[in-house]
Structure 1
Amino acid sequence: MPCMIRFMLTRLATGFTVGCAVGFFVWQNWQNGFAVTGTVEKYLAQALFIYLFASTISMGYLATALLLEE
């Protein structure tokens, strides 16, 4: 695998993992004030919320790594 593709995939995966952890942490601490009725809707909302954090942080992590790479 070329070095650039490996670089991008590892940075995206690392950022996505960090974003999932942050999104899950924020959801668990904020969940008390956010009432969603039903189980399917709650899990869907949680998954979309965590994906929001994960995708944003992964792209930011990749952009920062590309900026700082020499």
Structure 2
Amino acid sequence: MPSLLHYVLVRLAIGFAIGASSVLILTAFSISIFGSLRSWLELALMVWGIGSVFALGFLATALAMEN
């Protein structure tokens, strides 16, 4: 059981890091596909929202590609 938990948590963390970094890069270069983010709370919610979607997508892809 601990190896399964480790597998899931690592894949979720990697996916969240990919999603969060993509949002931060897009907002750092002022690409306005998300509209105007006026406060740090809006940015944090956007990072959390996109990061969680990427995390679940990365985990699902890793599970599907596993032998």
Normalised by the length of structure 1, the TM-score is: 0.79
After TM superposition, give the deviation of residue 64 of structure 1 in Å. Answer: 0.2
Look up the equivalent residue of 2:27 and give its one-letter code. Answer: W
**What SS class does the counterpart of residue 8 from structure 1 fall into?**
helix
Query: Quick one: structure 1 residues 49 and 35, their matched pair in 2 at CA, closer, same or farther if it must change by over 3 Å?
Result: closer
RMSD: 1.7
Equivalent positions of 1:1-20 (< 5 A) are: 2-20=2-20
Identity %: 33
What does residue 31 of structure 2 align with?
30
Equivalent of 2:59 in 54, 58, 62: 62
TM-score, normalization by structure 2: 0.82
5+ long unaligned stretches in structure 1? 37-41
Q: How many residues align?
A: 64
Instruction: Return the offset for 1:18.
Output: 0.9
